[in-house]
Structures are given as C-alpha cells and as structure tokens.
Structure 1
Amino acid sequence: MRAIVQWHTQTGKRMADNRDAYAHMDLPHASFYLVADGSSRHPGSGELANALLAELIQGIGRLPATALNRERLPAELLQLIDDSHRTLCETHPHAACSYLVLCLLADTALSIHEGDCCLGLVEAADAISWLTPVHCMANWQGSLTHAELAQMPSRHRLTRCFSPRRVGDPEIRDWPLTANQRWLLATDGFWAGLSTSQQQHFLHEGHLNAPPTDDDISCLSIITSPIP
C-alpha cells in the first residue's frame, strides 16, 4: 500500500526550541510512522524525543521479515521500547516525552503509545475522529473526549510517558486498514491547543500566522492508496 506522508510542525510560544519529532520507515511488508513530544517541563526532553525515535527506527530496521505480522510485531515493538528505555536512561536522566507509533501492515493497522500524542482518522469535511485515549490524570477513567480534555489543566499530568523515572506501560491497539484512509498522528499542541478551524487550516497550509498556544504544534498525515 502506497502512502502520501506530510509532517507539519510549528514551534510554540513557550520554548525557543521545537521539542516535537517524527520518523518514518518503509519496509517491504510494513510501514512505520512515529511521533514524539518532549516535555516542556523537563530539561533535555526534546533531545530525548529525537533519541527515542532514532533508537526505534534503528531497531525496526533490524527486524526480520518474519516479525512483520500481527502475531509477532507487538512483542517485537515492546522489546524495542524496553531496550530504548534502558539505553536512554543514563544519557537523559531528567527528560520525558510522549510517543506514538503507527504500523501499517498488509491487512491491519497497529498503534502503540504512551502519553498524549494521539492517533486519529481525518474523515469527510476534514472532521477528525480521535482513536487513542490520552494517558493523563484528567482521563483516569478513559471516558473523556479529546474536546473535553482540551479544556482541563489536569490533562498535563500524564499517567504514562517515556521517562527514566517511570516503568514503561505502552498501550497497543489494532485498527481496520482500508485504502484511501487519512491517518493523523498529532501532539497535544495540535489536538488540544487548536480550535477545529485552526486544525483544518494547519492540515492544509502546514502553519499558522502566529502560534496560538505555548506548546509546539505538530501532526503527521498519512494518506493511503492501493498499489496499482
């Protein structure tokens, strides 16, 4: 399955550096899309976000073809994340980041995430249907919509993330895969910091005239199409 990939990112008002990152790898039987969001509250978090994605991409590139299926891939990804946690703990002891990985296989999609990077599908009239839950204190019951969470300050208190000070607890989910889908991997600066009209503008133009939030704004769009 072919895909059109677009990465849009814009630095927020709070930090001088953009702490969002993305990576992408195509293999013969699977495609991987990764987004990470470094914490603005912990030093070195932008570096951690980039280092985590680099570690995961390197590990994914070493996977055998026999691992690129629904039966084996979840365990392989969990092991890569665990290995990355051990590798990066010493070099980034005070940092933290959220991350999201989307894998498109031949007949299914698989996501794995911790934190507040969210997976969605862009539907008719650019409406976004958010699929993955936000791992935060405000959503401890898992029942709040993204629109509700966007208005709650306690959404910034994450219950899961990638950090040397936490035990990893990734969430894995399966999704139906069809042709002509538009997947969206977004950081919280996009799904929580922008209004619906601002989200649509950012999707089309890739930038806003001025960042309306303190946080970095980023989204990775993947439009799939069948192989002719």
Structure 2
Amino acid sequence: MIYATRSVKGQAREDNRDCAGAVFDGVRGLFVIVDGTSKPGSGQLAQGFVQGLIDTYQLRVGQGVGDDTHDLAIQLIRSVLADMHAPLFAEWSGSTSYLVAVVVNGLLTIAYEGDCGCGVVNAEGRIDWITSPHCLANWKRDRSHRELVCDPARHRITRSYKAGRAPEPEIVVRSAVVGERFVFATDGFWGEMSEVRQAEALKSPEITITDLEDDVTWIDVRL
C-alpha cells in the first residue's frame, strides 16, 4: 500500500481548516480526512479529530479489537467516534465534515458525515465518487459530484461532527483489491478543481495551487 497526502490553504480564510492523517501498519491502512466549517474553533477541532481518531483506533486494535470484516470495522469506527466526542468538545468548539476509511483484508469500510468524499481513480486519472455528500443541494441524495459543483447550496452542510449531537455516520463498504487506487478528499478538491485539474494533481502531487478560495486536501492511496 502506497499513499500520499497534501493540504493547501485556500484564499478565503487566514488558516487552513482542513486536516488529514494516514497510517499503514503492515496489515491495515487507516485514512482520515476532515474539513472544519466556518464556525470558530473548527480548524483546531479538525486537527484534534484526526489525531484523536488515529490514536484511539490504533490503541483499540493493539488491545485486540478486530476490524477484518465490514461489520467489525464499522463497529470499531462508530465506537471510536462516539468515545472521542465528549473529550474533543470539552476542549474545542466548532464542527467538521469528516471521512474515516479502513482498508484491511481486501475490504474498504468508510464512515462519513458532511462533504468529504471517496473516489475510485481509473487509469486516466478520472474519479468515480462512491460517497454522496450531505448537503442541502443533495437533499434527495440523487445528485452526482459534477452536478453539485455548480449549485451554491452544496456549501450548506446537513450533517457534521458537532457538539450536542451524537455521531451518526453514513457507511459505505466495498472490496479493495490489489491494483486499485482511491482518493479521499475535501470538497475543495472535488468542488473547486476541474476534473482535468484533479487528474493533474493526482499525477503530479506538487502541482501549484494558489488560485482557489477553499482549502484543498486529499489522500491518494494505491493498493
């Protein structure tokens, strides 16, 4: 498993409110991508979320908790999200979109709330998005990322990780076979970069990005 991450601050704010983390322990890949909202404290919350989730997940696995089936991985992700909730919001305010993905035993398990996404990358660098954003523009849950890009209501997030509401992630599961390539990304990546530019960024991760309003963050994973 080979992976690379990149996060670029957009022009809209002084701080980058995206955050991403990835680890591979020789058995499983754990990938976390978070997009803090405009609420105060969301950038710090995003950073705390990523580190807290990776640390807690790895601790549970080290204690013998299994995640080598979809059901076990879902159970573990949900328990980690729930157990992190009170400590995180005791320290930080704000809210975030998030996506957590586990690749283990030939399986991909995703839990997410908000508009961070997962896509399968083909040989030409085109992306088939397999998650559906939680936003006002997609309230019927029937619109593609390409359709959502031009709708201003896509910025109105309808589900997120926030105080006063227990985490309730949507779950997506599929196989993850040798040779496949996945991208996990914030909406700055899929919403502000053209499909051609997305492919260029995956081909050349150090591509110059200085002209976008939103923060742009992605994790590129090859199995």
Deviation of the 1:207 alpha carbon? 4.5
CA distance in 2, matches of 1:199, 1:114: 22
Normalised by the length of structure 2, the TM-score is: 0.93
Could you say which residue in structure 2 is the equivalent of 1:160? 159
Give the gaps of 5 or more residues in structure 1.
none
Aligned equivalent of 2:24, options 10, 23, 26 = 26
Equivalent in 36, 43, 54 of residue 46 of structure 1: 43
1:90 matches 2:90: yes
1:191 aligns with 190
Shift of 1:208: 4.7
In the alignment, what sits opposite 2:131? 132
The normalised TM-score by structure 1 is 0.91
Partner of 2:57: 60
Separation in structure 2 between the aligned mates of residue 37 and residue 101 of structure 1, nearest angstrom: 12
Residues 167, 60 of structure 1: alpha-carbon distance in 2 compared, 3 angstrom cutoff? closer
How has the CA–CA distance of structure 1 residues 23 and 165 changed in structure 2, closer, same or farther, with 3 Å as cutoff? same
Deviating 4+ runs (over 4 angstroms)? none
Residues 5, 219 of structure 2: 8 Å contact kept: yes
Following TM superposition, by how much is the alpha carbon of 1:49 offset from its aligned partner in structure 2, in angstroms? 0.5
Structure 2 unaligned blocks of 5 or more: none
Mapped partners of 2:180, 2:78: distance in 1: 26
2:76 corresponds to 1:79? no
Q: 1:159-209 CA deviation, whole Å, 9 max, x = no partner?
A: 111111433220112111110111100000000011112212222232454
**Matched pairs, number:** 220
Call closer, same or farther: CA 1:210–1:109 in 2, change over 3 Å. closer
Tell me how far apart the structure 2 counterparts of residues 202 and 165 of structure 1 sit (CA, whole Å).
37
Equivalent of 2:34 in 36, 49, 56: 36
**Residue aligning to 1:11:** 9
Shift of 1:124: 2.5
State the superposition RMSD in angstroms.
Answer: 1.5
Amino acid at match of 2:137: A
